[in-house]
């Protein structure tokens, strides 16, 4: 008797499980925006274009790198806190940011600066313009890597996709 009961209930349970998992899943075609959550700095120019160290004469010659995500027209979207004295041996380094919405068709730049305290911060390199949508894959990839024109700078962005 219990087996007969089970054979009647089990199919109903399975249908319930399948239906529960299938609550309108997001497909790549539905994606309109991404929420940027992490920048992972994988590479950057280790010295300035003239060959000098980023912080020559200071305690550490290595730059204090922060990243800015901005629109093509220069509107600030995200600015990370600086990580002091980034050594190439530390790479990759991670910048967690509050999840921030970016339209997948928005043209954006990732710009790297060296925080120089009271002095003007130094531009290190930039990546872009690019669109999040250019890197969206059908499996809703959780991250993608962008590279500067020089090839010296590589940053991986973690993104949660949304409709
Ligand atoms: Ca500097
Ligand atoms: Ca510095």
CATH at residue 119: 2.60.40.150
**Total domains, the chain:** 1
Is 82 part of any domain? yes
For 69-96, write each residue's pLDDT tens digit. Answer: 999 999 999 999 999 999 999 999 999 9
Å from CA of 60 to ligand 2 middle: 9
Mean pLDDT for the chain overall: 91
Domain that holds residue 45: 28-162
Q: Which tokens is 49 given?
A: 């274009």
- Closest ligand (CA of 63): 2
Is 19 part of any domain? no
pTM of structure: 0.84
For 95-148, write each residue's pLDDT tens digit. Answer: 999 999 999 999 999 999 999 999 999 999 999 999 999 999 999 999 999 999
- Closest ligand (CA of 64): 2
- Closest ligand (CA of 122): 1
- Closest ligand (CA of 115): 2
Is 17 part of any domain? no
Closest CA to 99 of 141, 38, 37, 156: 37
Å from CA of 141 to ligand 2 middle: 34
Is 76 part of any domain? yes
Q: Which tokens is 45 given?
A: 């120019």
Is 16 part of any domain? no
Å from CA of 161 to ligand 2 middle: 34
Could you tell me the CA-to-CA distances from 37 to 4, 78, 97, 152 in Å, in that order? 51, 10, 5, 23
C-alpha span between 64 and 9 (Å, rounded): 62
Is 20 part of any domain? no
Å from CA of 115 to ligand 1 middle: 7
DSSP state of 120: P
Is 1 part of any domain? no
Is 158 part of any domain? yes
């Amino acid at each position: 008797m219990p087996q007969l009961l089970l054979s009647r209930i089990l199919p109903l349970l399975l249908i319930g499980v399948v239906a529960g998992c299938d609550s309108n899943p997001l497909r790549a075609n539905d994606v309109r925006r991404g929420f940027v959550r992490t920048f992972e700095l994988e590479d950057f120019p280790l010295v300035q274009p003239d060959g000098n160290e980023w912080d020559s004469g200071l305690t550490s010659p290595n730059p204090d790198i922060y990243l800015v995500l901005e629109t093509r027209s220069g509107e600030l979207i995200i600015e990370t806190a600086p990580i002091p004295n980034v050594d190439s041996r530390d790479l990759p380094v991670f910048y967690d940011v509050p999840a921030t919405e970016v339209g997948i068709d928005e043209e954006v730049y990732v710009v790297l600066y060296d925080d120089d305290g009271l002095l003007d911060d130094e531009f290190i390199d930039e990546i872009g313009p690019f669109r999040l949508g250019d890197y969206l894959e059908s499996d809703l990839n959780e991250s993608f890597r962008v590279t500067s024109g020089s090839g010296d700078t590589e940053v991986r962005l973690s993104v949660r996709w949304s409709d």
